[in-house]
Amino acid sequence: MKINKLWLVKLSIIIPTYNEEGYLQKLLESIKSQSFTDYEIIIADAQSTDNTRQIAASYGCKITEGGLPGVGRNNGAKIASGECLLFLDADALLTEDYLEDALTEFNEKDLDIAITQIEPLSDSKTDKLLHDLANFFMKSVESIRPHGAGCYGILTKRSLHKAIGGFDESLDFGEDSDYIYKIGKIGNFRVLRKPKLLVSTRRLEKEGIRDLGRKYTKSTLYDFLGKKVTAEQLDYTFGYSDNDEKRIIYSVCGEGMGHAIRSSVIIDHLLKKDNKVIIFASDRAFDYLSKKFDNVYRIRGFNTVYKENSAKYRDTFIVGMRNLPRDFIDNFRMLYNIAKAFKPNIIISDFEVYSSFLSKIMRIPLISLDNIHVITQCEIEVPDEYLIEKIAAKGVIHSFIVNPKEYLITTYFYPPVKQKNVSLFPPILRKEILNLRPYTGGNVLVYQTSDSNREIIKHLKNIDEKFVIYGFDMEKTEDNLQFRKFSEERFFKDFESARAVISNGGFTLISEAIYLGKPVLSIPVKKQFEQIVNAFYLEKLGYGEFYEEIDEEIINRFLSRLDIYRKLINSYKYEGNLKVFDALDKCIKKYSKKYKTTPDSRDYLQINELLMDQN
């Protein structure tokens, strides 16, 4: 059908979106294939975290800020240049010649506002019958009361949109019915007969016929009685998830790099499962994770004071107590405000203390995922001389993470566990390590997380070996010593080719070295019990040696035994990350807190404002 020659106006198609990458492209393709082409497309996006905006940009759409559907539609209308406005949902599809048919009938019938009939994107006979009944009802009442919803497609004149002040943004439900009624009162309304809009059945599939039917019946009854109903009253949520996505707070200790590296692998897995994740991290963990992910918030953490390769607990206590009032107030205020808006289903903590407080106060289930809790939740072996450090470490660990639902502990040694909610898994390795092809080169890799152990440099200079050294934040060569500032790419290459590794007792580096078949000489930080445990089991398993103090004789003896350690390391069978991924997914599914309502776009905008204020 040729378009009526009287119709010479341009059409503005306005689509509110939030994480619609799975649907938007199909809608835009259906618009692109229309015979009528005098239109513009405006995407009003509510801070999508997927590729929605990129898809919109690739089709040449105008993009503006969105929010709740009413907010998004109003923002789209503000930048529209068409005389007519067509509001569509992102999960709809246009049938052939939809735009031409809709505009022609709209013009010929001298209409001011209209909706179209809908057909389900489903082969189900029940779905087709339900949508036919909905169309019949809309046509039956069109002369009694203008009524409809956004899913039907709303076509109107921009002048009338302005005349009534647009959609009522104070309404969190029924703003579309209210809008249709207001324009219908001052103009002509009709359900268009020829054009049909194909609509998704995802909400019907998710909520079921009975529940969804109850909600829409109640809302329609309220609408015809002239009453307002809220989304909370209907237990109606905005947004969809085909994969039962969860909202997760992931909180990470900033001491050293191990917590951040492990967490980055887990967070990447959670995001690939289409969960929404907000990350809290302190110090080096924040610096590392904020380069890899969005929605990372800096908090202030507790940091151990080190001097001469020894943990100074008195100094640590003094510094911690001096900063505690400020840190606690600032950290908890931010965590609480974001959690209140975000409504997390679950909190995952990699030994981060404030997440435990938040869990208890807001009654959000907590999962502990780290290597530290092997000290408190397993029967570990250590020499009696470390009893004081053991008692102190247990006290700190118990105070940091209080009664999580599950303890998921990563380890390269497997001591007996103490209780049923404790599970042990292989170390979590990042893909960069898994992709390396290790070989035995000519250098020994030296890695220090603190520059307090300068005594080691004196000893290395007196040994007839080449050492590549990280951790002293300098780039220079001194005889047989090559100092390097940290660069991940270069570090991986040096790690891949190293003959052996000399490091402190950090869990992550030891785990990665064992996977790569590199013997380790471990010099744990004195009085740092977790590192002592790691080094003790390293030696017990025959993967290297453990000393609190070293000299040239110890280093040379270690280097002379590398073949022995390599044979023992070769017996180590790494089982991959999948086991802990699967266990965590099951914990999330089992323990996730349910809410009557989910965050809307205003909540996400509030969260973004908090992040901007922090930055």
More confidently predicted of 310 and 125: 125
Q: Which residues contact 504 (CB under 8 A, 6 or more apart)?
A: 309, 447, 448, 449, 450, 453, 522, 523, 524, 525, 531
- What is the per-residue pLDDT for 444? 97
Which stretches of 48-114 are DSSP H helices?
Answer: 52-58, 69-78, 98-108
Mean of pLDDT values over 350-354: 92
What integer best gives the mean pLDDT of the chain? 86
Query: Is residue 614 over pLDDT 80?
Result: no
Lowest mean pLDDT across 42-56, 210-224, 465-479, 486-500: 210-224
Neighbours of 549 (CB within 10 A): 9
- Token output for 554: 């110890």
Give the tens place of pLDDT for each residue, 73-87: 999 999 999 999 999
Confidence of residue 22 (pLDDT cuts 50, 70, 90): confident
pLDDT at 459 over 70: yes
The one-letter amino acid code at 163 reads: A
pLDDT in tens, 439-448: 999 999 999 8
| CA dist., res. 179 & res. 113, Å (int) | 10
Mean pLDDT of 581-607: 79
* Highest-scoring range by mean pLDDT, 203-217, 326-340, 461-475: 461-475
Tell me the pLDDT band of 420, cut-offs 50, 70 and 90.
very high
The two tokens of residue 270 are 């959670």
Return d(Cα 551, Cα 63) in angstroms, integer: 65
Examine the pLDDT at 323 and tell me if it is beyond 90.
no
Domain boundaries, given as residue ranges, for the chain: 11-234, 247-429+584-614, 436-569
Topology match between the domains 247-429+584-614 and 436-569: yes
User: Where does the pLDDT of residue 428 fall: very low under 50, low under 70, confident under 90, or very high at 90 and above?
Assistant: very high
CATH number of 247-429+584-614: 3.40.50.2000
Residues 6+ apart with CB under 8 A from 586: none
Amino acid 312: pLDDT: 53
More confident residue, 218 or 248: 248
Q: What are the distances in angstroms from CA 605 to CA 65, 72, 95? A: 10, 13, 35
**What is the Cα gyration radius of the chain?**
31
pLDDT of residue 174: 79
d(CA 320, CA 316) in angstroms, rounded, equals 6
Q: How confident is the model at residue 147 (pLDDT cuts 50, 70, 90)?
A: confident
- Is-contact 354 338, C-beta < 8 A? no
For the stretch 384-408, pLDDT in tens is 999 999 998 999 899 889 999 999 9
User: Would you say residue 173 has pLDDT above 50?
Assistant: yes
Look-up: residue for tokens 């040239």? 552
Phi-psi region of 308 (alpha: psi -120 to 50; beta: other; left: phi over 0): left
Average pLDDT over residues 192-206: 77
Most confident of 67-71, 146-150, 180-184, 543-547: 543-547
> Looking at residue 2, what is its pLDDT?
39
Nearest to 535 by CA among 510, 500, 499, 572: 510
pLDDT of amino acid 495: 97
Mean pLDDT lowest among 51-65, 146-160, 320-334, 476-490: 320-334
Does the pLDDT of residue 224 top 90, yes or no?
A: no
| Predicted local distance difference test score (pLDDT) of residue 138 | 82
As a whole number, mean pLDDT of residues 179-201 equals 90
Q: Which of the following CATH numbers is that of domain 436-569: 3.40.50.2000, 2.30.110.10, 3.30.2000.10, 3.30.1280.10?
A: 3.40.50.2000
In 3D space, the residue among 161, 30, 20 whose CA is nearest the CA of residue 99 turns out to be: 30
Confidence tier at 49 by pLDDT (50, 70, 90): confident
Give the residue, 120 or 227, on which the prediction is more confident. Answer: 120
- Rounded to an integer, what distance in angstroms lies between the CA atom of residue 324 and that of residue 339? 21
pLDDT band at 350 (very low <50, low <70, confident <90, very high): very high
Torsion of CA 553, 558, 563, 567, to 10 degrees: 150
Candidates 3.40.50.1820, 3.90.550.10, 2.60.40.420, 1.10.10.10; CATH matching 11-234? 3.90.550.10
Joined together, the tokens standing for residue 90 give 């992102």
